[in-house]
Structure 1
Amino acid sequence: MLKVSQLIAGPTSNLIISDLYYMIFASFNAARHILIQHLESVVTNLVMFTSAYTVGVFISLLFYRLNKFWTILVAVGAPIFIFVGIPILISRYNFLGKPVLLITSHPWLYIAFFIAITIVTSLLNWLLLRRAPVKAAAV
């Protein structure tokens, strides 16, 4: 993919079109066959998008099951925690440094991590959905 983007941009361009796989694993892939890199890139993107999908379904089901008070609390509290709380925790305690370095040390660890997230959120989705009340359609 990187070679194709360089051909599109031209030989003298400073523009590089790449994907997340090559940004994370560029040094790891220095001596690996290009076909293996492309296959791992496809699998990486597939599991990341599947994981994002299942997390999105979980959030939708969570909002569907919560009452009004908790819906408002989660809708306000989650972005504050994500954009304010987590950066403060990382800057003070640096608890994510070693796990992130471990996960990004090899492409298949990265893929296994996102498969695990997909499995866990799929199980949570199933638990939320199996007791969901079925509402009659408004005519």
Structure 2
Amino acid sequence: MEWDKGQVTASDLYKISQYLNKPVEFFFGEEFGGKDVQTLISFLRSQSPEQRKANIEYIQKNIKLQELGKKISNQPEDEISADQMKEFMELLIDITNMNKTASNHVEDATKRLLAEIEFQGIDFSDYLTRL
């Protein structure tokens, strides 16, 4: 990497961020959303594009559901529109289905892990009693 006048190009900055496994925003300090936002960005960038897209969609739907739920909670019952109810229920169903899918993956992984533990004759009883 060559720099004119000590300046880093956007391309070089991106390469450095990838090498260090940090978001580009990391190099600009806290004013770019704070440490929690930088951590989230770094985590999302470490995922496959497919998984990243799914997780961003999940986060967006959760935020929308929370915001809509708060808005509905603060409205008089006779002012809650059919569109609000429909949107709330659609978000709730989508998130529930996403959670079920994730739960099924965890359950499948647990079954495979337990089968492998049994197959290898590993004794986790001492460890499990400490949990």
- State the structure with bigger RCO (CA 8 A, min sep 6), 1 or 2: 1
Q: In proportion to residue count, which structure has more helix? A: 2
- Tell me the TM-score normalized by structure 1: 0.32
Rg larger in structure: 2
Q: TM-score, normalised by structure 2?
A: 0.34
